Amino acid sequence: MKNFLMKMDAAMLLPLFSLLILVLFAAVSSPAATNDGRINRYIVAISANYGGEGRPQLRYAESDAKSFAKVLEEMGGVQKQNVFQIKEPNISKIQQELDVLDKKMEKNKSVNGRNEVLVYYSGHADEKGLRLGNEIYAWKDLRKRIDALNADVKIAVIDACGSGAITRLKGGVAVPAFMVDQSSDMKGYAFITSSTQDESSQESDKLKGSFFTHSLVSGMRGAGDLSGDGKVTLSEAYQFAFNETLQKTEATMGGAQHPSRDMNLAGTGDVVMTDLRSTSAGLELDEDVDGRLFIRDQKGELVAELYKKGGRSMSLGFPAGKYVVRLERPAEYKEASVTLQDNYRARLSQKQFVLVSAEKTTLRGEFKSTDRADSVLISLDSLDHYGKYRMTFDLVDRERDPRKGMQFGLFATVAHDYMLGSQVSLFANAARREIHGMQLTFGLNIVKDRIEGAQASTLINIAGEFKGVQAGFVNLTRRASQGMQLGYLNIGADTVSFMQAGFANYMRHGKYGFGFANVAVTSSALQVGFTNVTRDSSNVQVGFANVNGGVGGTQVGFFNYETLAKGHQIGFMNVCAKCEKTPIGFLSIVGNGVWSATTSMNEMGALDLALRFGTAYFFTSFEGGRLIEKGTEFEHFSDVYENGVGFGTQFGKYGSHAELEYMFLNTCKGRMFDDDVGYHHRLRLGYTSQLVPFLGLSVGGTINVASVGYGDDLYLKPLADYHDDFGSEKHKARRWLGFYAGLTVGRF
């Protein structure tokens, strides 16, 4: 019996001990412990289409930034409130947003968790740094700021020309990929760039984005999952983007593009960029699917592109919706439609693809096929080399394929695809994609994408963007354009890099505007018209009224206003909050200049009030006064008045200063501004001593000459009755030396 109990106790102890181990393991692996090790991920997505004067306007920088941020929101565990999108920034804006991010990360960091920051930039750059408008953010300064971020892992993805320069700062070189172990313990930094230091980074109209970002996003959606574990690591995403970018750019005019990197990630694993299992909807590609795949959403936008080899399956993550998947293999084009739903992953096998017409789906028209596997949309270069010239005529002439040639329509012409040639009709011409040539009609010309050439209409011309000429009653362009707009009303919603000429011109950013009314939101080089308005900056404005709400250059007009004037203002009335140079005009009101009032008594017993506006170098004076009745001990005014205008200088100093001023005054006896007037010329040399800010004591001497003018007698003379009369009976004149003393208030 005792042996039986001992055997039973031993048999029972083993499962009890195992149960205890499981309980301890569960406690260690509890949600609370996991939560302490969570990852807080943040994205800073920066886009800059405008890279400064003389650089081409990019078209897809903003959409690339959105695409990068979107895939990480959907599949990379980034919460919406942790996405910072910065459009067309300057250096201070980027630094300000990174400072805000630092504070937010410090506040939200868990006890044992880690912060990850992904900084993405799409735009212009060169060997010196990021080109942000007319500013340069030096590579060393950018890298220093990213290194200083309050995060455990810092990943910078830079899609710009010469961006490899930032990896050269610490010896990075262009290699196919960096590979590390597959665990999640990681700290450090990684800089990924779209090209090497001396290469161009390119964007494509066919992709509606850059080659590099398009490939990187496709990789993160699952195409880069080489291990097949349902996760795309930083190494896998980079390797996929490197191979795809190099392949797509080898035959382009910009030349082969080699992405590069510089990495220093300490730990035992790699950073997981996206988890394919985190999306509720997805697409599973069976093993038998083999070839290059192009996946488009229900809007027709290309959301992913990849080459899939047969023999292994692949998972891709997308939002729920309808998609068209096209499979291209040599001399074979197939398509399949699929609808992705939440909480469901659709499977796609080879048998679900059906053959389609090469002419219809590849949009290659009547020209030879090229060997480029990624030619989903036809390029204008290929159209020029391989397309056949055609000329057609109809009541409404429609063309759905790429066209090289002429379209004539009695009522209208419509081109749905790329076109090299012209459209001519009586009432309307429409083109959905880029057109190189001319649109000519009496009614409406419209290009949804871009036209290089000319739009000519007696009524309306509309273009997404243009390079050339728009001539019509109303001309409108929605994006950056290069050329001229000639018409009654010209509107450039973005950049017009050359000229607008018409009754009314509006541009967001441009060079030259000639018309009755010219309005520029961002900047302009030259505006000539009755009214010229610029919100941010202008170089030259010439017109009756010129207004600049920002930094301005030279203004010539009746009325000129600038917030910050770096050039000259020349006009009847000039107003500026801050002037770097002295305005020239009848009245100049300068915030950082002279605006003061002086009340004084002089040798004639006159009480005067003078207002002065301008700068220390040149100011305008307006003065009025009335003489005290002699012998009344300054108790009663006489009936002699003075009023006039003059100009002077303070010898370039503010505060206590010496001043020289000439005044021309009208003198009248009786009612003020009476016709019975005389003239008073006065040259004044004086000194104003500043007692406290905005208050001074003014004293000085004067040289005075009075003449009868339209009156019969001389009304002015010093109280001490010293003077010298000269001239004839008909042209009487009087001269004397005088003095004054008074108080000055304001800025002087």
Q: Is the pLDDT of residue 30 over 50?
A: no
DSSP readout, 14-67? Answer: HHHHHHHHHHHHHHHTSHHHHHHT-EEEEEEEEEES--STTSPPPSSHHHHHHH
Report helix, strand or coil for 747.
strand
Burial letters 558-594, b for 16+ CB under 10 A, else e: ebbbbbbbbbbbbbebbbbeebeebbebebbbbeebb
- 594-747 maps to which CATH number? 2.40.160.20
Q: How confident is the model at residue 120 (pLDDT cuts 50, 70, 90)?
A: very high
Which uninterrupted H or E stretch holds 554? strand 537-565
* Residue given tokens 């290659």 in the structure block: 364
All residues at 6 or more sequence positions from 24 whose CB lies less than 8 Å from its CB, including other chains? none
Give residue 169's identity as a one-letter amino acid code.
L
What residues are paired with 190 via a beta bridge?
Answer: 155, 263
d(CA 648, CA 310) in angstroms, rounded, equals 88
d(CA 736, CA 748) in angstroms, rounded, equals 28
pLDDT: which is higher, 97 or 27: 97
All residues at 6 or more sequence positions from 731 whose CB lies less than 8 Å from its CB, including other chains? 707, 708
For the segment 253-276, what is each residue's pLDDT rounded down to a tens digit? 566 788 888 877 776 667 888 988
If 0-12 CB within 10 Å is exposed, 13-18 middle and 19+ buried, where does residue 95 land? middle
Mean pLDDT is lowest, of 242-256, 415-429, 573-587, 657-671, for: 242-256
Q: Quote helix, strand, coil % in the chain, to nearest 5.
A: 15, 50, 30
Class of domain 281-356 (CATH, top level): mainly beta
pLDDT of residue 386: 52
Q: Is the pLDDT of residue 453 over 90?
A: yes
Q: Domain boundaries in the chain?
A: 38-278, 281-356, 379-473, 480-587, 594-747
pLDDT of residue 165: 65
Contact 640, 633 (CB under 8 A): no
All residues at 6 or more sequence positions from 69 whose CB lies less than 8 Å from its CB, including other chains? 43, 45, 78, 83, 85, 120
Report helix, strand or coil for 526.
strand
For the segment 311-353, what is each residue's pLDDT rounded down to a tens digit? 888 888 888 888 889 888 765 677 888 888 877 788 888 888 8
Mean pLDDT is lowest, of 20-24, 81-85, 283-287, for: 20-24
Q: Is the pLDDT of residue 650 over 90?
A: yes
pLDDT of residue 157: 93
H helices within 487-529, ranges in order?
Answer: none
pLDDT of residue 711: 65
For the segment 149-165, what is each residue's pLDDT rounded down to a tens digit? 988 899 999 988 766 66
pLDDT of residue 180: 35
pLDDT (average), residues 407-436: 93
pLDDT: which is higher, 721 or 593: 593
Q: How confident is the model at residue 20 (pLDDT cuts 50, 70, 90)?
A: very low
* Residue given tokens 């301008």 in the structure block: 614
- Residue 745 in tokens: 């208030």
Please indicate, yes or no, whether the overall pTM of this predicted structure exceeds 0.75.
no
Please tell us whether the domain made up of 38-278 is placed in CATH 3.40.50.1460: yes
All residues at 6 or more sequence positions from 631 whose CB lies less than 8 Å from its CB, including other chains? none
pLDDT of residue 628: 85
Q: How confident is the model at residue 11 (pLDDT cuts 50, 70, 90)?
A: very low
d(CA 630, CA 637) in angstroms, rounded, equals 9
pLDDT of residue 45: 94
Q: How far is CA 228 from CA 276, 284, 328, 748, in A?
A: 10, 12, 23, 77
Phi, psi of 73 (to 5 degrees): -65, -45
Q: Is the pLDDT of residue 371 over 70?
A: no
d(CA 640, CA 624) in angstroms, rounded, equals 11
Q: Is the pLDDT of residue 748 over 90?
A: yes
Closest to 477 measured CA to CA, from 458, 504, 496: 496
- Residue 655 in tokens: 């505060």
Closest to 610 measured CA to CA, from 577, 583, 647: 647
pLDDT (average), residues 457-461: 95
Domains 281-356 and 594-747 share a fold: no
Q: How confident is the model at residue 380 (pLDDT cuts 50, 70, 90)?
A: low
Q: Is the pLDDT of residue 229 over 90?
A: no
Q: How confident is the model at residue 383 (pLDDT cuts 50, 70, 90)?
A: low
pLDDT (average), residues 403-412: 93
Mean pLDDT is lowest, of 24-33, 121-130, 477-486, 599-608, for: 24-33
Mean pLDDT is lowest, of 20-24, 97-101, 354-358, 696-700, for: 20-24
Q: Is the pLDDT of residue 208 over 50?
A: yes
pLDDT: which is higher, 281 or 408: 408
- Residue 552 in tokens: 């301005």
For the segment 514-558, what is each residue's pLDDT rounded down to a tens digit? 999 989 887 788 999 999 999 888 899 999 999 998 888 899 999
Mean pLDDT is lowest, of 30-39, 98-107, 636-645, for: 30-39
pLDDT: which is higher, 358 or 581: 581
pLDDT (average), residues 209-216: 87
pLDDT of residue 19: 44
pLDDT: which is higher, 381 or 304: 304
Q: Are strands 83-87 and 389-399 parallel, antiparallel or unpaired?
A: unpaired
Closest to 218 measured CA to CA, from 322, 396, 70, 110: 70
Average pLDDT, the chain: 82
Q: How confident is the model at residue 302 (pLDDT cuts 50, 70, 90)?
A: confident
Q: Is the pLDDT of residue 375 over 90?
A: no
d(CA 350, CA 291) in angstroms, rounded, equals 10
| Dihedral (CA of 363, 367, 368, 370) sign | negative
d(CA 385, CA 184) in angstroms, rounded, equals 51
pLDDT of residue 524: 83
pLDDT (average), residues 716-735: 88
Mean pLDDT is lowest, of 41-45, 205-209, 388-392, for: 205-209
Give residue 578's identity as a one-letter amino acid code.
K
For the segment 462-504, what is each residue's pLDDT rounded down to a tens digit? 999 899 999 999 999 988 888 899 999 999 888 777 889 999 9
Q: How confident is the model at residue 363 (pLDDT cuts 50, 70, 90)?
A: very low
Q: Is the pLDDT of residue 292 over 70?
A: yes
d(CA 106, CA 739) in angstroms, rounded, equals 70
Q: Is the pLDDT of residue 362 over 60?
A: no
pLDDT: which is higher, 510 or 406: 406
